[in-house]
A and B are shown apart, each in its own frame.
Chain A
Amino acid sequence: MSNDIPLALYFHWPYCLSKCPYCDFNSHVAASVDHERWRKAYRAEIETLHHQFPDRVISSVFFGGGTPSLMEAHTIAQITGDIARLWGLGDDVEVTLEANPTSTEAAKFADFKAAGINRVSIGVQALNDPDLKALGRHHSAAEALEAVAIARRLFERFSFDLIYTRSGHTLKAWEAELRAALPHADGGHMSLYQLTIEAGTQFQTLYDSGRLTIPEDDLAAQFYDLTAAVMEDAGMPAYEISNYAKAGQESRHNLAYWTYADYAGIGPGAHGRLTFYGGPNAQDAQAAAAHTRIATRAHKAPDIWLKTILDVPQGSTAGAPASAPYSAFQNPEILTPLMQFEEMMMMGLRLRRGVDLDAVHARTGIDPKDHLNHAAIAALCADGYITQNGTIIALTAKGMPVLNAVLRAILL
């Protein structure tokens, strides 16, 4: 039925040692964590998910958080083992772990590798200590670079993050910082984020009260352009709005999101996009439209999530009918073809390669002819924000930083 259809797996580990003031992810600080209980929950979830989608090909695995480098390597080994046992897990499948670059965590990298991790993504964030402190980080710049060096030795593929337009950041300082960071990336992958003030964070409180200012608007645009130029120069051009890589080094897992492939989220607050195929094959648009695609989201609170999964009477999952849900199916949102169309456009345009309208049509059953503002597309092409090449629409370097306005203009 859905043989060979790829599925990306995301695992959420919600715990951190402390909450960073800029972070709005689902992260929690706990006095103690019962790792055994988590292992049980992950295993139960993987099994029920497999029950539902036994024939998929696992295309990538990602451990995010929170701080998943605080997980026991044993837990990761169990998860990768379960995946391999149930679906199979090829050596070439990307298995990424997000990691904080403290010396303790870096010391676990080798164990993680042994547990099946083949790529790490390290949250370096800044290369000067006062700024790291302001960002609430527990590592020094030197410690972070040491962690990167360890990753470089252990893993064929790795990435690290930096955050720019920090408070008091100048273009000059950022350029120097970025150029200093480049040799450590070793022509691989970097995520370079503009600091965003997110709702509900400590930074928002400071920002709203005027105690925190960051470069914005036109100045932020200059930071973005500078970043793009430096990275292009270094042979790691932007392949997505905030992600830069040498060809072949792109994050395959994240590409699943941007190309709107299926992914399952396991862990508190994890999201998923899953398709239930209606026909024997999904070759044409009509058949695709007959499929049901749902958005899932697991309960955000770690304790409740654990209870939902573990406090189920024994045997209720084993031998359950094929439609037995895994925990994230509790409140699924059925995505209409039009919602899928919007999501696919929205995500796909983040990529430099853009979106193929034919693929969008085939995937969602929505004909872009009827749902895009073609006059706006022509105008945006003329003004140099986007390009249209046959059925492929893509943002230009000028268009990338104004994606939201472009989407508003072209989606009817």
Chain B
Amino acid sequence: MDQKNIRNFAIIAHIDHGKSTLADRLIQRCGGLEEREMKQQVLDSMDIERERGITIKAQTVRLEYKSKSGEMYQLNLMDTPGHVDFAYEVSRSLASCEGSLLVVDATQGVEAQTLANVYQAIDNNHEIITVINKIDLPAADIERVSQQVEDVIGLDASEAVPVSAKSGIGIDDLLEAVVARLPAPKGDPNAPLKALLVDSWYDSYLGVVILVRVIDGEIKKGQKIKFMNAKAVRDVERVGMFTPKPVLIDRLGPGEMGFITAAVKDISDTQVGDTITTEKHGADTTLPGFKPSIPMVFCSLFPVDNGEFDKLRDSLGKLALNDASLHYEPESSQALGLGFRCGFLGLLHMEIIQERLTREFDLDLIPTAPSVVYKIHMTNGDVIDLYNPVDLPDVVKIKMIEEPMIKATILVPDEYLGGLLQLCQERRGTQIDLTYAGNRAMLVYRLPLNEVVFDFYDRLKSISRGYASFDYQLDGYVENDLVRMDILVNNEPVDALSMIVHRSQAEYRGRGMCERLKDLIPRQLFKIAIQAAIGGKIIARESLSAMRKDVTAKCYGGDISRKRKLLDKQKEGKKKMRQYGSVEIPQSAFIAALKMGDDKK
């Protein structure tokens, strides 16, 4: 189709503000699916996506729209991942479009997450149409929300389109606005092929499916193509589009979106943001903005049942087929056995992977406390990335340690501001900005990522009774007085419980962990010392006195079988115990210690 009749756009919205419902309505209006085929939120194909109302993979839908003027248009709707962990994926999705619909809930207003994505859209030179959704709800306040869009984001809201995606109000007006206000793509049909790799996933029937946006030239079946950053060459096997059902076509021209398959076996060859060109007479330069994905948050996953290690490896392998940003390496822990050290884009990504392993692969897992990547500057000039606190080199060889920082944006009703300021201070934050929009405050803080990976979000939600919204972006590395705190049980370090903390917080956190362990470790026939230590220095200690009585009062002839079975059960339980010197600690104690978060008791 002629590029002047193509419109490519993304939808930007906060969770629950109605992005998917709006997409569904647009698809329905353009006849993409029969009524009976519409399940709610067509685009979010994974159960987790549908349940949590978040999108993990980018998706596109091509719609045929006949405008009021009678002209046919090809509308390519891009559904982007909606969370900060996938900020890079979002940026590439946005880069494949010329415009965006900013969806704001008329009853809620602008949220932090929306902000970050709108700024990304603006960075991508998008034309933005503000859509005010849920206008049919009694609590809708279109005027206040429009004002907020102007105050907080700085967009002209005078031409905002009021809609109700749920009941279909204003959908025609919105489609007309898309055609009239969003720019058409301006690719060169005669230039060498240049296509942006937007996303990719593994489909059991099609193999690796690659979502592309053609910028210049065209992509067609049988072509030999090159992934410029991955330096891989493949034959195009199929070209297609989603309506949202996959439909095979011959070619994708400039300005168009669709998918290809190209006999790719390994998803790591298809990196988000890569440029696809032809192998011969291809483009000289890649599209701007490519970044290999870098995991920011790490945690170790151990199977509760050590016999499930192989199953865990296979399951991670299957997930990685679909998720190039998931990193994992085998790890062995004295406390928890064999498992994997896993790297994630962020907290949500970590949570999703853990949940999918549990739910789809039926694994019972022990996750260790999440941690970040530290940069260790050695006295000899080397710089080491530290992924696991256990691997920290000898402190005398360390010159300094840097930790990753984030810039956090928090929007919160002002009555909860005090509590949030305190939380940010406790977490070693530095205030950058504090502004008001109506009765809401917008806080910008620079915080160590390490302080955020540990239950920050839960605390934020509880302090604000769920009203605060939070978003962050990475903001470089900073040197800090960081130390490794070890937990010792009768002088034996428990590897799974070691953590990197700021020196000023070591005592507080060490004491918390010791107190918790004291309650969790069963008493034994001798006194047990539970200590937190930095290097050789003990900073907190608890002692668990010896057990004094555990015998059963009566035991006669009838009780023997029962007692023996009990003993056998205990022996079975002993297999799940870990030996620390002479101390036996049940695995369940570690699980509980790791689960309880940091500040809660």
Q: Which residues of A contact B (CB under 8 A)?
A: 10, 25-26, 193-196, 217-218, 220-221, 224, 241-242, 254, 256-257, 263, 265, 269-273, 295, 297, 333, 339, 342-343, 346-347, 350, 379-380, 383, 385, 400-409, 411
Q: Is the CB of B560 within 8 A of A257?
A: yes
Q: Is the CB of B549 within 8 A of A269?
A: no
Given contacts A196-B553, A257-B560, contact A346 B525 (CB under 8 A): no
Most B Cβ at <10 Å: residue of A26, A265, A409: A409
Q: List 17 A-B contacts (CB under 8 A).
A: A10-B557, A193-B553, A194-B553, A196-B554, A241-B553, A271-B557, A272-B557, A295-B561, A297-B561, A342-B564, A347-B560, A350-B555, A379-B582, A383-B525, A401-B550, A402-B551, A404-B552
Determine, out of B169-177, B302-310, B337-345, B567-575, the stretch whose residues face the partner at the interface: B567-575
Give the residue name and chain of the B residue nearest to A221 (CB).
B548
* Distance between Cα atoms of A350 and B568 in the complex (Å): 18
Q: Is the CB of A403 within 8 A of B551?
A: yes
* Distance between Cα atoms of A70 and B555 in the complex (Å): 24
Cβ of A406: which chain B residues have Cβ within 8 Å of it?
Answer: 525
* Distance between Cα atoms of A40 and B552 in the complex (Å): 36
* Distance between Cα atoms of A380 and B568 in the complex (Å): 21
- Give a binary string over B101-143; 1 marks a CB under 8 Å from any A CB, 0 the rest: 0000000000000000000000000000000000000000000
- From residue B546, how far is it (CB to closest CB) to chain A in Å? 8
Q: Is the CB of B560 within 8 A of A242?
A: no
* Distance between Cα atoms of A260 and B567 in the complex (Å): 17
The 10 closest A-B pairs by CB, nearest first: A221-B548, A221-B549, A401-B549, A193-B553, A403-B551, A404-B550, A271-B558, A257-B557, A194-B553, A242-B553
Cβ of A380: which chain B residues have Cβ within 8 Å of it?
Answer: 525
* Distance between Cα atoms of A404 and B552 in the complex (Å): 8
Residue B180 is within 8 A (CB to CB) of chain A in the complex: no
Residues 398-419 (chain B) with a chain A CB within 8 angstroms: none
Q: Is the CB of A271 within 8 A of B548?
A: no
Prevailing SS type, chain B contact patch: loop
Q: Is the CB of A402 within 8 A of B549?
A: yes
Given contacts A257-B560, A342-B567, A347-B560, contact A193 B551 (CB under 8 A): no
Q: Is the CB of A343 within 8 A of B564?
A: yes
Q: Is the CB of A402 within 8 A of B553?
A: no
Q: Is the CB of B558 within 8 A of A385?
A: no
* Distance between Cα atoms of A121 and B556 in the complex (Å): 14
* Distance between Cα atoms of A406 and B526 in the complex (Å): 12
* Distance between Cα atoms of A194 and B553 in the complex (Å): 6
Q: Is the CB of A257 within 8 A of B549?
A: no
* Distance between Cα atoms of A273 and B561 in the complex (Å): 10
Given contacts A217-B549, A380-B525, contact A411 B567 (CB under 8 A): yes
Given contacts A193-B554, A380-B525, A407-B567, contact A402 B560 (CB under 8 A): no
Give the residue name and chain of the B residue nearest to A223 (CB).
B549
- From residue B551, how far is it (CB to closest CB) to chain A in Å? 4
Residue B563 is within 8 A (CB to CB) of chain A in the complex: yes
Question: Which single member of B553, B556, B570 contacts A408 (CB below 8 Å)?
Answer: B570
Q: Is the CB of B551 within 8 A of A254?
A: no
Residue B474 is within 8 A (CB to CB) of chain A in the complex: no
* Distance between Cα atoms of A193 and B551 in the complex (Å): 11
- From residue B159, how far is it (CB to closest CB) to chain A in Å? 64
* Distance between Cα atoms of A409 and B547 in the complex (Å): 13
Give the residue name and chain of the A residue nearest to B566 (CB).
A404
- From residue B38, how far is it (CB to closest CB) to chain A in Å? 51
Most A Cβ at <10 Å: residue of B553, B568, B570, B574: B553
Question: Which single member of A26, A343, A346, A403 contacts B550 (CB below 8 Å)?
Answer: A403
Q: Is the CB of B558 within 8 A of A405?
A: no
Residues 552-601 (chain B) with a chain A CB within 8 angstroms: 552-558, 560-561, 563-564, 567-568, 570-571, 574, 582
Q: Is the CB of A273 within 8 A of B525?
A: no
Residue B293 is within 8 A (CB to CB) of chain A in the complex: no
Q: Is the CB of B556 within 8 A of A257?
A: yes
Q: Is the CB of A408 within 8 A of B574?
A: yes
Cβ of B554: which chain A residues have Cβ within 8 Å of it?
Answer: 193, 196, 242
Q: Is the CB of B526 within 8 A of A402?
A: no
Residue B229 is within 8 A (CB to CB) of chain A in the complex: no
Q: Is the CB of A265 within 8 A of B561?
A: no
Residue B524 is within 8 A (CB to CB) of chain A in the complex: yes
* Distance between Cα atoms of A182 and B422 in the complex (Å): 66
- From residue B564, how far is it (CB to closest CB) to chain A in Å? 5
Q: Is the CB of B582 within 8 A of A404?
A: no
Cβ of A254: which chain B residues have Cβ within 8 Å of it?
Answer: 556
Cβ of A403: which chain B residues have Cβ within 8 Å of it?
Answer: 550-551
- From residue B229, how far is it (CB to closest CB) to chain A in Å? 58
Cβ of A411: which chain B residues have Cβ within 8 Å of it?
Answer: 567, 571
- From residue A214, how far is it (CB to closest CB) to chain B in Å? 12
Q: Is the CB of A241 within 8 A of B555?
A: yes
Cβ of A402: which chain B residues have Cβ within 8 Å of it?
Answer: 525, 547-551
Give the residue name and chain of the B residue nearest to A400 (CB).
B551
- From residue A10, how far is it (CB to closest CB) to chain B in Å? 6
Give the residue name and chain of the A residue nearest to B556 (CB).
A257
- Give a binary string over B520-538; 1 marks a CB under 8 Å from any A CB, 0 the rest: 0000111000000000000
Most B Cβ at <10 Å: residue of A270, A347, A380: A347
Q: Is the CB of B564 within 8 A of A346?
A: yes
Cβ of A333: which chain B residues have Cβ within 8 Å of it?
Answer: 561
Cβ of A196: which chain B residues have Cβ within 8 Å of it?
Answer: 552-554
New A-B pairs, 16, CB < 8 Å, besides A193-B553, A221-B549:
A217-B549, A218-B548, A220-B549, A241-B553, A241-B555, A242-B554, A257-B560, A263-B557, A333-B561, A339-B564, A342-B564, A402-B548, A402-B550, A402-B551, A404-B550, A408-B567
Given contacts A10-B557, A265-B558, contact A346 B567 (CB under 8 A): yes
Cβ of A346: which chain B residues have Cβ within 8 Å of it?
Answer: 560, 563-564, 567
Cβ of A401: which chain B residues have Cβ within 8 Å of it?
Answer: 548-551
Most A Cβ at <10 Å: residue of B550, B570, B582: B550
